[in-house]
Amino acid sequence: MTQQKDKYTKWVACWGNATSITDRKECVYAKDITLRYPVRVVFSGSKMRFRFSNLTGTEDVAMTKAYVAKQNENYGAVPITFEGNASVVIKPGKEVESDEIAFDIEAGETVDVSMYFAGFTQMNAGTLITGPLSKGKYSYGDFASEKELPIDLTRNTNWFYFLNTIDVLTEEKNHALVCFGDSITAQSWPDWLAIRAWENGFHNVAIIRRAVSGTRILRQYDCITYQAYGLKGETRFPIEMNVAGASAVIIQHGINDIIHPVGVEVNPFRPWSDMPTCEELECGMENIYVKHARKLGLKVWSGTLLPIFGWRTYNEKRDEMRTRFNDWLRSSDLFDGCVDFDFAVRDRSNPASFAPGFDSGDHLHPSETAYAAMADCVPEELL
């Protein structure tokens, strides 16, 4: 057993999420609540560590206790500690990392990460994500160490609060692939990519999602109506690229820069002055994303922007910008390669539109079938 553990020498992220501002509803506090997130671990390893984030909070978040447990008959919840303590206070705008937890894990096992918050807690640091592997739950009461959550006090959620990254002490051969973007990436294709990788025998790669719906490369909203659209790329990227064992990043970002501006006479928060030029988008990709990723030693792959014909702000000028930007993403020598998501989902006879069956119905976001097609077009060399 000792010899087997000796081969675990490298920390690699096995799960990751962005942290953003949550949707500003009337109720923004919780009390006496358990959050539980199941995570399939793709690497075998001997230790785990956990990062929790209050990056976008404006008040202290006091986490009473947290546990990790395998989803099996024994369950056996193991406390997650912070400098030996069960509880931790996460300051506004900050992130905390747990102690290293001795935890033997086999590739393919699923763990539950559960957190309990006894007092009033500002729920302002979390991100909405969806997909077949992204299912959370919350319960009213303290059930963080229990195998079963009480059905009458529990609901499903796709809001992932506070839990930001999970690392495993694993073998040197393993690595993480980061998927960075907006709502397209916050939805299903990273999960489908993780499923594809596992089913095709690529058990040495974890898919780490860093995505927030509504975000832009060059701008961000500071009003409560659109705060949930998150931080701009310049602010997000250096924080979200803190990924142990990362080898590469796929960046699929920029469509919101193109489709959001409508003029203050239509929406006071979306002036025409926010509309970038294609050159500004290209400079943003280079100076905000590529240069920082290179400093981290990462390979950088671009991801083309998807069709938008029929979207409520669609016009030919916006689509011309999208097409021109895509041409640059495909051809620029700044990147190690391009994942051509646009080509994978567009209608061959009408490239401005999704192919039949690939439109979710809003003419901006793909269907589940299309998300699977996006995952399928990621080159194997990234896995």
Res 206 pLDDT > 60 = yes
Distance of alpha carbon 89 from alpha carbon 117, whole angstroms: 11
Q: Is residue 25 part of a domain?
A: yes
The region of weakest confidence among 20-29, 157-166, 334-343 is 20-29
Calculate Rg over the CA atoms of the chain.
Answer: 21
Q: What is the pLDDT of residue 23?
A: 84
Final residue before a domain boundary, out of 137, 166, 195 = 166
Q: Which of 13-17, 21-25, 88-92, 143-147 has the lowest mean pLDDT?
A: 21-25
Could you read off the pLDDT of 100-135 as tens digits, one per residue?
999 999 999 999 999 999 999 999 999 999 999 999
The mean per-residue pLDDT over the stretch 19-30 comes to 88
Q: Higher confidence at residue 262 or residue 5?
A: 262
- Complete DSSP assignment for 44-73: -EEEEEEEEE-TT-SS-EEE-EEEEEESSS
Residues of the chain with pLDDT > 90, as a percent, come to 95
Residues 159 and 178 in one domain: no
Residue 1 lies in a domain: no
- What lies within 8 Å, CB to CB, of 341 at 6+ separation is 184, 189, 252, 303, 304, 305, 306, 374, 377
Q: What is the pLDDT of residues 295-333, one digit of tens each?
A: 999 999 999 999 999 999 999 999 999 999 999 999 999
Percent of the chain at pLDDT exceeding 70: 99
Confidence class of residue 2 from pLDDT cuts 50, 70 and 90? Answer: low
Confidence of residue 27 (pLDDT cuts 50, 70, 90): confident
Q: Which of 259, 267, 348, 341 is nearest to 308 (CA)?
A: 259
Residue 1 has pLDDT above 50, yes or no: no
Q: For residue 206, which of 105, 126, 114, 127 has the smallest C-alpha distance?
A: 105
286-305: b or e for each residue (b if 16 or more CB lie within 10 Å)? eebbbebbeeeebbbbbbbb
For the chain, how are helix, strand and coil distributed in percent, rounded to 5?
A: 25, 30, 45
CATH assignment at residue 366? 3.40.50.1110
Residues 26 and 153 in one domain: yes
Same-domain check for residues 240 and 339: yes
**For residue 308, which amino acid is it?**
I
Is 3 contained in some domain? no
**Domain of 96, in residue numbers:** 12-166
Model pTM score: 0.95
Mean pLDDT, residues 78-92: 98
Domain presence at residue 5: no
Give CA angle at 372 (195, 363), nearest 5°: 145
Residue 75's pLDDT is 87
Give the Cα separation of 345 and 372 in Å (integer).
10
Among 135, 166, 197, where does a domain finish?
A: 166
Average pLDDT over residues 23-47: 93
- What is the C-alpha to C-alpha distance for residues 47 and 9, in angstroms, rounded to an integer? 10
pLDDT, mean over the chain = 96
Residue ending a domain, among 142, 166, 190, is 166
Domain co-membership, 152 together with 189: no
Query: Is the pLDDT assigned to residue 9 strictly greater than 90?
Result: yes
- Whether 179 and 120 share a structural domain: no
- Residue 7 belongs to some domain of the structure: no
The pLDDT of residue 3 is 54
Number of domains in the chain: 2
Q: Are 38 and 75 in contact (CB under 8 A)?
A: no
Confidence label for 65 from pLDDT (cuts 50, 70 and 90): very high
- Residues 150 and 34 grouped into a single domain: yes
